[in-house]
Amino acid sequence: MEKLIAQLLFLIGLVAWLGWVLTRRYMGPDVESAEKGDPPSDAQLRWYIRSIRQDMAMMSVTNFAILLVLVFALVLKF
């Protein structure tokens, strides 16, 4: 019974995490393309760097979730 509860809680957490990732990734504002030929302003460069940092953070969260799924599968033999 405890194993079933642990599996259900893990799956609920995984679905909640997936919903958060998809909402953050696809519901956010899209990047507008800048005109070619003009160098980017300081504000645009800061925005690009911020966007890259967010993408890297999202990849680390995704990799951590994959690790949790693998550990869960190996430990509890799901």
pLDDT tens figures, 13-42:
888 888 887 776 666 554 444 455 677 789
* Mean pLDDT, rounded, of the chain: 80
Domain that holds residue 66: 41-78
Q: Does residue 5 form part of some domain?
A: no
CA distance 66 to 77: 15
pTM higher than 0.85: no
The token duo for 7 is: 């599996």
Contact yes or no for 7/76 (Cβ under 8 A): yes
Q: Does residue 25 form part of some domain?
A: no
Q: Please state the domain count of the chain.
A: 1
Q: Does residue 9 form part of some domain?
A: no
The token duo for 29 is: 């504002």
